Structure 1
């Protein structure tokens, strides 16, 4: 049975789709660790007046090779935590790339799922947690089906095409500022430099003259 507001109108059914790599990169750039429970509460908590159907997280896994096994194990533990806390997680194995990186593009999976789930789950609202402009056409396709599309991102990572394709934009910057700061060694290189510039240098006391 669908819940109703105090005025008798029913709550909007909400489906949230998360590009884990994109939102993770945004919050790390801000020097913060991503609090997934706070993110869900912010987007779909009781104060929003919406009924969350599912929050689906699309995550790339490090390659299944000995060189990447340690990182893969860490990512799998994180995915297990997400699933244990009520998130639906869809994964894709990555492939080695240049400079000790790996690539696991989940865009196509997320787009196909969005169209299929919009038919199967019948949401009134879909929130795309990403700033990737490649999802602009998906936003338009969902809107053609009568679904309200909102994009949750930060301004610096939000493509203009995606912004104009959605019904509305949810700015995540204020939420990110409530997350805990990351350790300096865990920050991306530019953020590390910024943090280090803010740290006062230790200067030995001047010698006393007798």
Structure 2
């Protein structure tokens, strides 16, 4: 990641659902959140790290949430919604965006850990507010509009052993 210095204050926002599905579909592996946080922050000052997760009532998810907290992430948990027709929905796009906008006046850099192109407009807004925006994701499943809208993009696939378990 370029144009960084030790005085930068950083917030790391991780879209856990997006990262999970990307890593599973391409590699059948899980994301190494300790490696992700370490690489996202570098030698800069971490102000806040938030992992946005979905509760789907699977047996191992509580231990996953606890592991995230042990690594240094605050967890924001949303229950999955099941609609009458059986479809399920759960996403944190609005919550992540609101948190990023709220944190903008307290940080120099926001690192969005996601491949979701819906965050491109958020990148544009944050940059307009003078905040550096870095995106971290699996390149093969990251939307071009997100890559283009961020100040920099770090492809986890370039260092898969640092980012994947």
Secondary structure at 1:131's aligned position in 2? coil
- Which residue matches 1:30? 27
Structure 1 regions of 5+ residues with no counterpart?
Answer: 1-8, 63-68, 181-210
Kindly indicate whether the alpha-carbon contact (under 8 Å) linking 1:142 and 1:149 is maintained by their aligned counterparts in 2.
Answer: yes
5 Å matches for 1:28-177? 28=24, 29-44=26-41, 48-62=42-56, 69=57, 71=58, 73-96=59-82, 102-119=88-105, 122-177=106-161
Secondary structure at 1:146's aligned position in 2? coil
Structure with larger Rg: 1
Closer/same/farther in 2, CA of residues 112 and 11 from structure 1, 3 Å limit: same
State the shift of 1:82 in Å: 1.4
Q: Give the Cα–Cα distance (whole angstroms) in 1 for the partners of residues 124 and 73 of structure 2.
A: 26
Structure 2 regions of 5+ residues with no counterpart?
Answer: none
User: Which is strand-richer, 1 or 2?
Assistant: 2
After superposition, what is the alpha-carbon deviation per residue over 1:174-209, rounded to whole angstroms, capped at 9, x for unaligned? 3323434xxxxxxxxxxxxxxxxxxxxxxxxxxxxx
Closer/same/farther in 2, CA of residues 13 and 108 from structure 1, 3 Å limit: same
Kindly tell me the number of residue pairs found equivalent between the two proteins.
Answer: 159
State the shift of 1:100 in Å: 7.6
After superposition, what is the alpha-carbon deviation per residue over 1:74-104, rounded to whole angstroms, capped at 9, x for unaligned? 2222112211332111111111269987421
What value does the CA root-mean-square deviation take over the aligned residues? 2.1
After superposition, what is the alpha-carbon deviation per residue over 1:124-161, rounded to whole angstroms, capped at 9, x for unaligned? 11110011010011111101110010111122111111
Using structure 1 for the length normalisation, give the TM-score.
Answer: 0.69
Q: Give the Cα–Cα distance (whole angstroms) in 1 for the partners of residues 29 and 66 of structure 2.
A: 22
Q: Give the Cα–Cα distance (whole angstroms) in 2 for the partners of residues 86 and 16 of structure 1.
A: 11
What is the aligned counterpart of 2:10 among 2, 14, 17?
14
Secondary structure at 1:49's aligned position in 2? coil
